[in-house]
Amino acid sequence: MPHTPIIDLTGKVAVVTGSGRGLGLAYAGALARAGAGVVVNDIDQDAAARAAASITGTGGRAVAEAAAVGTAEAADRLVARAVTEFGRLDIMVTNAGILRDRVLWKMTDDDFDAVLTTHLKGTFTCARAAAARMREQGEGGSLILVGSPAGQRGNFGQTNYAAAKAGIAAMTRTWSMELARAGITVNAIVPVAATAMTGTIPAFAPYVEAGNRGEPLPDFLRKGEGFGTAEDCAALVPFLASDAARDVTGQCVGIGGDRLALWSHPQEAAVAYADGGWSPESIAASWHTSVGAVPQTVGIPAPRIPEA
């Protein structure tokens, strides 16, 4: 049988943004159970305090730090809290996020800016502060950024969110190259889970509500759709932060329900050539029989719910 490594993060220290509830709390709890000290962050002080208490109440090490991510000052505070409380920083998980869903012609500047500030700039500022500290320590580290299927494929009504998550995937690939010499791995996780956010999707809403009542999710969701609980997604975070994943970097990894998946990077799907270059007319003449013969699909496929 293949050897199963033990995931032990004893002595490591993590910051998890947006971890007062939901997926972020699941990530923070999984890191603490693996032995890491955790700075629990949330914009809501009470939620952060409750989350930290839930971790320490089961023997983990955690402290709460309330801050709205998106500024350099907030990022520096989170890194400083990790160093003050635990002496170092080894893992940064950029999970904090908000939604302001509207179709393009109804989306306001404020809708767009708020989501990009929290998701994209929040990821950038927290990763930058963490990378600076990890490079100073000289012992490597892990940046674990939180993406979304919307950032991989787009999603109706989510211009701001999809753009931010696509940017996070691009930053993952870029930073994995920039930080390789420092021994810092950079990966994005693409979780799919029953949360308050997915509860707003009509097809998933009844199952999210059932899960909240403690009812198990059916196999067609857990396997067919890769849709499960927040805790189902949490295992990926300690793995990516561990020595078992020292050679894993620059990747977008999906997880949800019973499914674990590696997302592909964008690449040319079809290529055609014309001697001397292309004109508008020659592109039009060849499009449907050359590069445009099989168009790429867009959007997140609707769940395939079995008929009753």
- Indicate which residue of 121, 161, 176, 242 is catalytic: 161
Phi, then psi, of 184 in degrees rounded to 5: -105, 120
Catalytic (active site) residue 161: yes
- Return the C-alpha torsion angle 46, 147, 262, 40, nearest 10: -20
> Using CA atoms, how far apart are residues 308 and 293, in angstroms rounded to an integer?
37
> Using CA atoms, how far apart are residues 77 and 74, in angstroms rounded to an integer?
5
Catalytic (active site) residue 165: yes
Amino acid (1-letter code) at residue 227: F
CB 94 within 8 A of CB 146: yes
Q: Which distant-in-sequence residues (6+ apart) come within 8 Å of 127 by Cβ?
A: 92, 94, 143, 145, 171, 175, 186
Amino acid (1-letter code) at residue 11: G
Q: Is 259 helix (H, G, I), strand (E, B) or coil?
A: strand
Nearest Cα to Cα of residue 33 among 231, 253, 222: 231
> Using CA atoms, how far apart are residues 166 and 153, in angstroms rounded to an integer?
9
- Indicate which residue of 12, 19, 121, 148 is catalytic: 148
The DSSP 8-state label assigned to residue 9 in this structure reads -
> Using alpha carbons only, what angle is made at residue 142 by residues 137 and 145, rounded to the nearest 5 degrees?
135
- Per DSSP, the residues of 178-215 read HTGGGTEEEEEEEE-B-STTGGGSTTTHHHHHHHHTTP
- Indicate which residue of 19, 27, 121, 165 is catalytic: 165
- Return the C-alpha torsion angle 150, 156, 162, 163, nearest 10: 150
Residues annotated as catalytic (active site), given as ranges: 148, 161, 165
